[in-house]
Amino acid sequence: MMLAGLGLLVGCASRQSGRSLPGALWPEPRAVASGGTAVPPSSRVTAGSGLPGVLPRDNWARGNPIASKVNPMTTPHHITIHHDGMTPFHATNARDVAAQIERIRSMHVGNRGWGDIGYHYVVDRSGRSWSARPIRYQGAHVQYQNPGNIGVLCLGNFEEQSPSRQQLSGLHVLLVALSTRYRIPERNILTHQEWSTANTLCPGRNLQSRIDAMRRSGTLV
Ligand SMILES: [Zn+2]
Can you state the percent helix, strand and coil of the chain, rounding each to 5? 30, 10, 60
Number of domains the chain contains:
1
Task: Classify residue 141: in a domain, yes or no.
Answer: yes
| pLDDT of 31 over the 50 cut | no
Task: Classify residue 116: in a domain, yes or no.
Answer: yes
Round to whole Å and give the CA distance between 155 and 167.
9
Could you tell me the CA-to-CA distances from 168 to 74, 158, 177 in Å, in that order? 27, 12, 14
How close is the Cα of 30 to the center of ligand 1, in Å? 22
How close is the Cα of 192 to the center of ligand 1, in Å? 5
Per-residue model confidence (pLDDT) at position 173: 97
Strand partners, 78: 149
126 or 38, higher pLDDT: 126
How close is the Cα of 9 to the center of ligand 1, in Å? 13
How close is the Cα of 112 to the center of ligand 1, in Å? 15
Considering the chain, what is the average pLDDT of its residues? Answer: 85
Domain around 87: 53-60+73-221
How close is the Cα of 35 to the center of ligand 1, in Å? 31
| pLDDT of 24 over the 60 cut | no
Beta-carbon contacts of 186 under 8 Å, excluding residues fewer than 6 positions away, are 179, 215, 220, 221
Q: Using alpha carbons only, give the angle 113, 118, 122 rounded to the nearest 5 degrees.
A: 145
Task: Classify residue 22: in a domain, yes or no.
Answer: no
Task: Classify residue 165: in a domain, yes or no.
Answer: yes
| pLDDT of 95 over the 60 cut | yes
Round to whole Å and give the CA distance between 156 and 163.
8
Task: Classify residue 28: in a domain, yes or no.
Answer: no
Residue 207 is part of a domain; what is its CATH number? 3.40.80.10
Q: Which of 214, 205, 213 is nearest to 156 (CA)?
A: 205
How close is the Cα of 159 to the center of ligand 1, in Å? 12
| pLDDT of 94 over the 60 cut | yes
How close is the Cα of 141 to the center of ligand 1, in Å? 6
Could you report the per-residue pLDDT of 96-137, keeping only the tens digit for each? 999 999 999 999 999 999 999 999 999 999 999 999 999 999
> For residue 130, what is the enclosing H or E element?
strand 129-131
pTM over 0.95: no
